[in-house]
Structure 1
Amino acid sequence: MLQRLRYYSELIKLEHTIFALPFALASIVILMEKPPGLTKIFLILLALVLARSAGMLFNRFLDKNFDAKNPRTMSWPHARGLVKDWEIKLLIALSVSAFILISMFINTLALLLSPFVVLLLFIYPLAKRFTYYPHLVLGLVYFLIPIAVDVALNEAISKTSLLLGIAMAFWVSGFDILYSLQDYEFDLRMGLKSIPVRFGIKGALRLARFFHLITFFALLGVGLSYTKAGIIYFLGLSGITLFLIYEHRLISERDLSKINKAFFTINGFISILFFIVVLLDRILPL
């Protein structure tokens, strides 16, 4: 049983929730009109984990044949046949059902919007079959996180949550472009679409930088529109900007060897740093 749980954890890349969870917590701190109860925070985070799990599992199920041929992914449990198709289908059904149920407990508007979230989660794994911009589809998924937090907390969608959504969307789209560079040659051979396939490695790096520039301006807009933002927020934004610059300096057209460091380590720092900055800015207004 423990081995199977390890396989399931590897399928959904549970450790990658470090990109989404701190950002969701930061969104709660920024968007809350009054402190929510611990139960509400738990439900929001649980819904996020369940929705992400459903999307990842559907991605694994749909890409099984590709993953079995890709040197980077052929050792993954589903590609080796260690996790059966029926298991993945069952996990998808359980994740989606639990996500919708949790949405019902949050509020009526969250429940009504939950099917649209599920639909978008299922569109993303298909995107690389029909568009060169699957990274933007993934960004759209993450765009929904601050929106969902606003709906859960306030049953509304504010300008601040939209700016947070734009920041998160282009942050994720940018680093997903960098991550996809690992599969550039494979995607070319298999006829799969991505920004690196469409524009080449050099063009993809430029677009990733541009997307992260949008992230900076969106987070700046959050600070200007969020009435409680103080000097700590803007100093923290400077630190995040330096991390983004460092991330792009790690990778060049001639040297892609540090993609994993840029993807996981640096972006994990960015997400955690943003939450800490927002929390301190709220607790210690300066």
Structure 2
Amino acid sequence: MTTFWAKTKITLEMIKWEHSIFALPFALTGALLAAHGLPRLAILGWILVAMITARSAAMAFNRWADASLDAANPRTSIRAIPAGQLSRGFVLAFTLLMIAGFVFATSQINRLTLELSPVALAVLLGYSYMKRLTRWTHFVLGLALGIAPAAAWIAVQGALDPRILVLTAVVTCWVAGFDTLYACQDMEHDRQAGLFSLPQSFGIETAFWIARLLHVAVVVLLVWFAVLFHFGVAGQIGIAAVAGLLLYEHLLVSPRDLRKLNAAFFTMNGVIATVFLVFVAADIWLTPLLRR
């Protein structure tokens, strides 16, 4: 039992379970908008199970696929597999268990979510190999998180509304932007290892400008999203708050000072996702009351 609990703790640390806060609020936003309020609790519960298992599978598979690359990078050599805390076989078994949990969760929602589950898995798992193939890998990671609100909409409605794809684009640009910043700390290693990223291809200065443009695009897309869904005052304040937080995130780091990169990447992005959910939820419930 001691070994079991020790492995469980290491596994949770390996998949960074606390970073579920990045995509989960956007999935819940999609669910709230699709239901025009709170979805049925059973559906909401299965959405949460699907989100947790899908992300866990993706993170574990990434650690399994990148084990040799992580071992060669001083920054990542302390991760569970290269450090010898978990075996590749154990991590692969955990990945398969999470995939099975995800597929089961989608089967409990509706037929379309089940039929699309292989597509979602292809994006989530395929990301792990993108850094070997293209400098645009950050956008694949963005899409992996960006499909969350569209998937949640389908879970509630049983069909896709094209309007929710604007939020998919928002999340894709948001994640691609901050992942581009995060990749700056591995630029030299990526060049030596033959891996691809925007910093590796264009340098840190240009990568910062790409990230800034992507986050400007996030705000523009959010304004469009607000128009499509007729946001009231609360929703508009939420967008303004996201814009302010993105600006603050970019003030924390610069091409010549990456020391606060972890704060910008982990703390601020979790805050941004949560703030957006809170204001959209407030808008959904308060706007009808204000219009009476």
Does the pair score TM above 0.5?
A: yes
Partner of 1:265: 267
After superposition, residues 152-191 of structure 1 pair within 5 angstroms as 152-191=155-194
Identical-residue share of aligned pairs (%) = 38
1:171 & 1:162 partners in 2: Cα distance? 14
After superposition, residues 66-215 of structure 1 pair within 5 angstroms as 66-215=69-218
Deviation at 1:204, TM superposition (A): 0.5
1:2 & 1:92 partners in 2: Cα distance? 18
Partner of 1:241: 243
Deviation at 1:260, TM superposition (A): 0.5
Deviation at 1:31, TM superposition (A): 2.2
Name which of 11, 29, 35 aligns with 1:8. Answer: 11
- The C-alpha deviation readout for 1:129-160, integer Å capped at 9, x for no partner, is 01011101111112211110111011111132
1:130 & 1:283 partners in 2: Cα distance? 45
Partner of 2:233: 231
2:38 & 2:138 partners in 1: Cα distance? 34
1:254 & 1:11 partners in 2: Cα distance? 29
1:239 & 1:143 partners in 2: Cα distance? 20
- The C-alpha deviation readout for 1:61-107, integer Å capped at 9, x for no partner, is 11101111212111111111110111111111111111111111100
Classify 1:272/1:218 alpha carbon distance in 2 versus 1 (closer, same or farther; 3 Å). same
1:181 & 1:257 partners in 2: Cα distance? 11
2:284 & 2:83 partners in 1: Cα distance? 48
2:78 & 2:37 partners in 1: Cα distance? 47
Name which of 268, 274, 277 aligns with 1:275. Answer: 277
Q: Which amino acid aligns with 1:197?
A: Q
Does structure 2 retain, via aligned residues, the 8 Å contact 1:247–1:266? yes
- The C-alpha deviation readout for 1:156-206, integer Å capped at 9, x for no partner, is 111321111111111111111111112111111111100100110011001
TM-score after normalising by structure 1? 0.97
Partner of 2:59: 56
Does structure 2 retain, via aligned residues, the 8 Å contact 1:26–1:279? yes
Q: Which runs of 5+ in 1 are unaligned?
A: none
1:83 & 1:179 partners in 2: Cα distance? 25
Q: Which amino acid aligns with 1:187?
A: D
Does structure 2 retain, via aligned residues, the 8 Å contact 1:33–1:154? no
Does structure 2 retain, via aligned residues, the 8 Å contact 1:10–1:76? no
2:46 & 2:217 partners in 1: Cα distance? 30
Deviation at 1:34, TM superposition (A): 5.9
2:103 & 2:38 partners in 1: Cα distance? 24
Q: Which amino acid aligns with 2:140?
A: V
TM-score after normalising by structure 2? 0.95
Q: Which amino acid aligns with 1:83?
A: L
Q: SS in structure 1 opposite 2:108?
A: helix
After superposition, residues 214-225 of structure 1 pair within 5 angstroms as 214-225=217-228
1:41 & 1:158 partners in 2: Cα distance? 18
Q: SS in structure 2 opposite 1:106?
A: coil
1:43 & 1:213 partners in 2: Cα distance? 34
2:39 & 2:20 partners in 1: Cα distance? 22
Following TM superposition, the consecutive aligned residue runs of length 4 or more in structure 1 with deviations greater than 2 angstroms are: none
Name which of 52, 68, 81 aligns with 1:65. Answer: 68
1:36 & 1:254 partners in 2: Cα distance? 46
